[in-house]
Structure 1
Amino acid sequence: MQTISPLLTDFYQLTMMQAYYDHGMEDEAVFEFFVRKLPSERKFFVASGLEQVVEYLETVHFSEADIDFLRRDGRFNENFLNRIRDFEFSGSVDAMAEGTLFFTDEPILRITAPLPVAQLVETRIINILQFQTLIASKAIRMKQIMPESTLIDYGLRRAHGAEAGLLAARASYIAGFTGTATVAAGMTFSIPVYGTMAHSFIQAHLSERKAFSDFAVSHPDNTVLLLDTYDTIRGAHKAVDLARDLANRNIKIKGVRLDSGDMIKLSRQVRKILDDGGLHDVAIFASGNLDEYALQRFRDEAAAVDGFGIGTKMTTSADVPYLDCAYKLVEYAGQGRRKLAQNKSTWAGRKQVFRNYGDDGTMTGDTMCLAHELHSGEKLIKPVMQQGKRVSQLPTLDETRTYVLKQLGTVPEGLQPDSEEDYYYPVQQSEELVSYCDEVSKVMTRNHD
């Protein structure tokens, strides 16, 4: 990914930063990123985007062009402009491993750095974590519904910008998708790339059969034919007829794609046509406005579909297009800090999350506590950066994907997307955390009266 200017931020981050420098407020600050609310359409979240956060923090700096722009703006003093010339992130990052399943209020990332530094990086960190977590948390629901099916990201053309399309491919792959149609994601992240043909290819030919044949000759190892440009059933019969001619050239049809109509019904009809023609190994692929709700119908009605192209509704997370997430100050100069506003109060202090499992390996509940506490279970938040440097190599994308799929095997039945059980995964706060937050509230209320 390319280096991002620190000016890709909210203006108030810079105005606060100057005020901090002006008034000597440069003590150590601790901020944590978390999601406030679990939408009714989600049972849990998947932490995603940590690698891009680390890359951003490793490279963030102000160029002379950035500084010149701020100087021309006229609202920043020379002391501030001189200070940011040598700006770098030299703080610490603690985080849940990318791909970790998490729940409301649990911090997935903690930044510890001088207050002006920790403040500046807020916007980009939220921008990165919110989007990829949003997409991964949508995509994993489809993996839960169709665990054995091929799932391909088709969403680039409907994504909200180029970076969104690229990172959606990454986030969905983490969540268990098989690959993507976005070629740049293949180059950037080594994600397997898949693709077939468009209706325009067939329309550009005078004959549908000739279009199928030309494509097969050009792509003998990836002959996947789109059947529904004119008539799906007739297209299926043409594919069977063509397969005989292709066999003489040692070309096999790999699959066919359905993109419109009653695809559940059509899939059964097409499967019969293919099987009757001896094409038992030809896969049926479906695409077109699909999501986990559609996949559930395909599964429940026993559609004859082997794989799915998932586009718009996943890449935009159409049913939940944003997360109510936050990056909040929890400690400054060694003292706990918390927001007390109604419905938006926060938990003070550096925190840790412990996850417990039953004898059968199923997740049974989490404990959120202060960072120094010890509780039973697996410790989820671990060091990632210290003094601006990685403490170890981050997992590869495939390792993260494997980690996610392993966790899916530990999810309680109530966390399945199609579960009708009124189930809420238990996350409790430790007594020490509750007591500490009460004391912080008293101090802050007294100081601000």
Structure 2
Amino acid sequence: MSTMRLTLLTDLYELTMMQGYFKNQNNETVVFDVFYRKNPSGSGFAIAAGLDQVIDYIRNLTFQKEDIDYLRSLKLFDEDFLEYLSSFRFSGDIYAIPEGTVVFPREPLLKVIAPIMEAQLIETAILTIVNHQSLIATKAARVVHAAKGDGIMEFGLRRAQGPDAGIYGARAAMIGGCIGTSNVLAGQLFDVPVKGTHAHSWIMSFPDEYTAFKKYSELYPDACILLVDTYDTLKSGVPNAIRVFTEMREAGIPLTFYGIRLDSGDLAYMSKKARKMLDEAGFPDAVISASSDLDEYLITSLKDQGAAITSWGVGTNMITSSDCPAFGGVYKLAAVLDEEGEFVPKIKLSENTEKITNPGNKTIFRIYDNETGKIRADLISLADESFDCSQDLLIFDSIETWKKTKLKGGTYHMRELLVPIFQKGECVYTSPSVMEIRDYCAQEQDTLWEETRRLTNPHEVYVDLSDKLFRIKSGLLDQMNREL
């Protein structure tokens, strides 16, 4: 129930490698990239999330006496290494794409430049934080897009894979565009709206449905959403809700936010019938909300069927990203600082083309069309490269190199995505509030072409390499092939 320290939230091999570097007096400065290879849930994009928790983790990364004692008990670590850990502090640099930004496969979401012992230690924690929240933020963005302007409420806490997944999943869902969460602790921690109605047990605990509705309306007249499917939705639930709303109006109680919730049955049919009943009773502004194992596909189907639902409570399928339960982010060495102070690019080979890494100390430039403001492509380049948007720019696919696009000078502009987070171990970045990130995320999604936002078979946004980076990568591949 108390705050858990995360210093030992790491895979054992991070610590055993760290001791190996220590024993071999190998603590050269390196570059590691965090990136992913495939968009989750068949999406055309993903949403970066989790950075604020990474910052908190790095700030508090120290080994306490009980940590050292536990590691000593494993009989794997020598005393000189444990003594080093007892005074450990992160001293490197971290760059990251801000939370809420639209991102694509293969580009670094986060870059660590630090002595290899430090960079190795933080791998696992960074991945578990960024992977989870980016996954849920992406899923939420898809659900919100499917709702086409209707409010999406995050209702998944009881189905999340444990308290942390429920808390930080709610945070990520808010970033993805939800209007509120049922998770009260998430509301407190992140200052986001909390929302909810009541359960079937509330109805069943009273002598009859009408009495249950009446008592609830007396308690919460300004947020009176009544669950109408406990017994019979159209013959009992909706008529009893209308009776209560009528009595509230006759008593002079303002009907500021009121309506019904459907949690079972044929939601399209039930909602249309309920809408007709509410309208005929003089309640055209009554909300009809729905829950019941919703996701982006079911919401799309219901809207295509003309369902009269304007508010959606989404739980299990969003908080677990049920169709894609893992984000797949990885953490790969990209460069090593040599004695002359230059970064030597490093590359990982693989039989799978998509697993070959991009070498070097890199950054990312997002290219926008001046006329529409939409994203044309992302360009991964070396960190010291710059580009003149008044000049023509030729971009090309780094694998299928015959696929080229020439952007005429003056028709595009560029934005560097990676920003400094830590410099020499000190945090230099202030995280926005969750609601500010949510607004920024909505703006980010507006820079996508609609073809990229569609739920099935989305258009792929190009992520290309600069000519200079492409030549370095090709040279390393040729060198590796000659040596193998």
Q: TM-score under structure 1 normalisation? A: 0.96
Q: Is the 8 A contact 1:363 1:410 kept in 2?
A: yes
Give distance in 2, aligned partners of 1:250 and 1:40. Answer: 45
The one-letter code sitting in structure 1 at the alignment partner of 2:426 is: K
For 1:241, the equivalent position in structure 2 comes to: 243
For 2:408, the equivalent position in structure 1 comes to: none
Map of 1:140-159 to 2, 5 A cutoff? Answer: 140-159=141-160
For 2:129, the equivalent position in structure 1 comes to: 128
For 1:302, the equivalent position in structure 2 comes to: 306
Of residues 384, 403, 409, the one that matches 2:440 is 403
For 1:366, the equivalent position in structure 2 comes to: 378
Map of 1:266-285 to 2, 5 A cutoff? Answer: 266-285=270-289
For 1:213, the equivalent position in structure 2 comes to: 214
- Closer/same/farther in 2, CA of residues 40 and 71 from structure 1, 3 Å limit: closer
The one-letter code sitting in structure 2 at the alignment partner of 1:135 is: I
Using the TM superposition, give the Cα deviation of residue 161 of structure 1 relative to its aligned residue in structure 2, in angstroms: 0.8
Q: Is the 8 A contact 1:357 1:363 kept in 2?
A: yes
Using the TM superposition, give the Cα deviation of residue 3 of structure 1 relative to its aligned residue in structure 2, in angstroms: 5.1
For 2:471, the equivalent position in structure 1 comes to: 435
Of residues 385, 390, 415, the one that matches 1:378 is 415
Higher mean C-alpha deviation, range 282-291 or range 354-363: 354-363
- Closer/same/farther in 2, CA of residues 392 and 5 from structure 1, 3 Å limit: closer
Higher mean C-alpha deviation, range 123-132 or range 297-306: 297-306
Q: What SS class does the counterpart of residue 216 from structure 2 fall into?
A: helix
For 1:228, the equivalent position in structure 2 comes to: 229
The one-letter code sitting in structure 1 at the alignment partner of 2:344 is: Q
Using the TM superposition, give the Cα deviation of residue 434 of structure 1 relative to its aligned residue in structure 2, in angstroms: 1.5
CA-to-aligned-CA distance 1:134-164 (integer Å, 9 cap, x gap): 0111110122222321110000000011011
For 1:426, the equivalent position in structure 2 comes to: 462
Q: What SS class does the counterpart of residue 111 from structure 1 fall into?
A: strand
Using the TM superposition, give the Cα deviation of residue 53 of structure 1 relative to its aligned residue in structure 2, in angstroms: 0.5
CA-to-aligned-CA distance 1:262-285 (integer Å, 9 cap, x gap): 001100111111111111221010
Q: Is the 8 A contact 1:3 1:59 kept in 2?
A: no
Residue 332 of structure 2 corresponds to residue 328 of structure 1: yes
For 2:290, the equivalent position in structure 1 comes to: 286
Q: Is the 8 A contact 2:106 2:463 kept in 1?
A: no
Residue 75 of structure 2 corresponds to residue 63 of structure 1: no
- Closer/same/farther in 2, CA of residues 373 and 119 from structure 1, 3 Å limit: same
Give distance in 2, aligned partners of 1:134 and 1:276. Answer: 43
Give distance in 1, aligned partners of 2:427 and 2:433. Answer: 14
The one-letter code sitting in structure 1 at the alignment partner of 2:437 is: T
Using the TM superposition, give the Cα deviation of residue 439 of structure 1 relative to its aligned residue in structure 2, in angstroms: 3.4
Give distance in 2, aligned partners of 1:419 and 1:406. Answer: 22
Using the TM superposition, give the Cα deviation of residue 423 of structure 1 relative to its aligned residue in structure 2, in angstroms: 2.4
Give distance in 2, aligned partners of 1:393 and 1:303. Answer: 43
For 1:388, the equivalent position in structure 2 comes to: 425
- Closer/same/farther in 2, CA of residues 40 and 223 from structure 1, 3 Å limit: closer
- Closer/same/farther in 2, CA of residues 81 and 42 from structure 1, 3 Å limit: same
Higher mean C-alpha deviation, range 314-323 or range 437-446: 437-446
Q: What SS class does the counterpart of residue 164 from structure 1 fall into?
A: helix
Q: Is the 8 A contact 2:93 2:422 kept in 1?
A: yes
Q: Is the 8 A contact 1:202 1:208 kept in 2?
A: yes
Give distance in 2, aligned partners of 1:39 and 1:221. Answer: 39
CA-to-aligned-CA distance 1:188-241 (integer Å, 9 cap, x gap): 000100010001111111211111111111222221100001111120011111
Unpaired stretches in structure 1, ≥5 consecutive residues: none
Give distance in 2, aligned partners of 1:444 and 1:337. Answer: 11
Q: TM-score under structure 2 normalisation? A: 0.89
Give distance in 2, aligned partners of 1:337 and 1:154. Answer: 44
The one-letter code sitting in structure 1 at the alignment partner of 2:373 is: G
Q: What SS class does the counterpart of residue 14 from structure 1 fall into?
A: helix
Residue 344 of structure 2 corresponds to residue 340 of structure 1: no
The one-letter code sitting in structure 1 at the alignment partner of 2:75 is: G
CA-to-aligned-CA distance 1:29-60 (integer Å, 9 cap, x gap): 11110001235611111010011101100111
Q: Is the 8 A contact 2:43 2:453 kept in 1?
A: no
Give distance in 2, aligned partners of 1:323 and 1:350. Answer: 24
Give distance in 1, aligned partners of 2:452 and 2:429. Answer: 32
- Closer/same/farther in 2, CA of residues 251 and 214 from structure 1, 3 Å limit: farther
Q: Is the 8 A contact 2:40 2:138 kept in 1?
A: no
For 1:45, the equivalent position in structure 2 comes to: 46
For 1:250, the equivalent position in structure 2 comes to: 253
Aligned-pair Cα RMSD in Å: 1.7
Give distance in 2, aligned partners of 1:425 and 1:41. Answer: 13
Using the TM superposition, give the Cα deviation of residue 306 of structure 1 relative to its aligned residue in structure 2, in angstroms: 1.2
Using the TM superposition, give the Cα deviation of residue 249 of structure 1 relative to its aligned residue in structure 2, in angstroms: 6.2
Using the TM superposition, give the Cα deviation of residue 5 of structure 1 relative to its aligned residue in structure 2, in angstroms: 2.8
Give distance in 2, aligned partners of 1:27 and 1:441. Answer: 24
For 1:181, the equivalent position in structure 2 comes to: 182
Higher mean C-alpha deviation, range 173-182 or range 341-350: 341-350
Using the TM superposition, give the Cα deviation of residue 368 of structure 1 relative to its aligned residue in structure 2, in angstroms: 1.1
Map of 1:9-88 to 2, 5 A cutoff? Answer: 9-39=10-40, 41-88=42-89
- Closer/same/farther in 2, CA of residues 445 and 75 from structure 1, 3 Å limit: farther
Higher mean C-alpha deviation, range 258-267 or range 322-331: 322-331
Q: Is the 8 A contact 2:40 2:46 kept in 1?
A: no
Percent identity over the alignment is 38
- Closer/same/farther in 2, CA of residues 251 and 199 from structure 1, 3 Å limit: farther
Q: Is the 8 A contact 1:143 1:176 kept in 2?
A: yes
Give distance in 2, aligned partners of 1:214 and 1:143. Answer: 33
